Amino acid sequence: MFPVSRPRRLRATAALRELTAESRVNVSDLVAPLFVREGLDSPQPITSLPGVVQHTVPSLVEEVRALVALGVKGVILFGVPSTKDDIGSGAFDPNGIAQKALRNLRDTFQDDIAIMADLCVDEYTSHGHCGVLDAHGHVDNDKTIDIYCRTAIAQATAGAHVVAPSGMMDGQVGAIRAALDAAGFLDVAIMAYSAKYASAEYGPFRDAVDVRIAGGGDRKGYQQDWRNSREAVREVLEDIEQGADIVMVKPALAYLDVVAEIRRLTPLPLAAYHVSGEYSMLKAAAANGWIDHDATALEHLGAIKRAGADIILTYLTRWYAEHVS
């Protein structure tokens, strides 16, 4: 008779648990989302994102300096302009706030950290949508892609190592890749928000970038339906075919099944965005004493890594680098 199996033997001590852990989150897996706002004299706290601020360009540089010293390997930048218009022209303005910040980061840190730029126009449009609107108030896919291509070139010229199209326009990755290559930016990578859902968990982010969708509208016409997963596979495959270097699922925690499915699908690096709502719910519950912040944060990040993500975009990056790694 065989002895009874006792998996608990390998859980008996902290050392054994560490030796037999199947997945680990490393600080080098994390990307810090950062906001830079035009017209500020000092960093501005974001009430719905505790611990996160809208930066000035100088304070942004100091924040990235601290992250580099802590071993963080990537940041992604979101610009908040002082003025907006109907096409989001600030997104591709060579002197726009994001481009100013990108130039400062690249000049200061060179290749010491991967400098990523969110490539969308919702922060820059007066109506809050991720593209150019047609006469009926719907986002015009092809006109929007033209704006994305101009923005990609502006970001690459300013020093971005990676551009990250997040607007979910059909064909955006292929058009951006062609535009970058034609402009000589063959080494600038594309991290595609390939499976981006029309989630209810983006509220604090919209506070951070000062976005309100006109008329109380939504983005369900171009972002994915939260009920669908096979659609995500189609979107990812199309982005890979068009030249994406990294693919992403957003949000992360509510879509771990999608993260796991995409992991099985492709050997490309896979990113997942632990979004503002996921972060803010954690912070609010911890502030009320309902959960243990640190233990829950580790579970969140661990679940995303275990599901198959190589890269985790999270507002917890600095906390993790300072207190865990």
Of the candidates 100, 250, 283, 305, the residue annotated as catalytic is 250
| Integer Cα distance of 123 and 157 in angstroms | 20
Q: Residue-wise over 264-278: b if at least 16 C-beta within 10 A, else e?
A: ebbebebbbbbbbbb
Q: Are 227 and 173 in contact (CB under 8 A)?
A: no
Are 198 and 170 contacting, i.e. CB atoms less than 8 angstroms apart? no
- Torsion from C-alpha of 166, 198, 301, 12, nearest 10 degrees: -150
Residues 176, 305: Cα–Cα separation, whole Å: 29
Asked if 78 and 16 count as a contact pair (C-beta separation under 8 A), the reply is no
100 is catalytic: no
Task: Considering the candidates 196, 220, 283, 305, report the single residue annotated as catalytic.
Answer: 196
Active site residue 250: yes
In angstroms, the CA 31 to CA 133 distance is: 32
| Contact by Cβ (8 Å): 305, 312 | yes
The answer to whether the CB of 263 falls within 8 A of the CB of 306 is: no
Q: Contact at 8 Å (CB) between 136 and 181?
A: no
Per the DSSP assignment, residues forming a β-bridge with 154 are none
User: Which residues are paired to 119 by β-bridges?
Assistant: 165
Estimate the share of the chain in helix, then strand, then coil, as percent rounded to the nearest 5: 45, 20, 40
List all residues 6 or more positions away from 189 whose beta carbon is below 8 Å from its beta carbon: 161, 162, 163, 245, 246
Report in angstroms the alpha-carbon separations of 304 from 39, 171, 311, 313. Answer: 36, 28, 9, 10
Catalytic residues: 196, 250
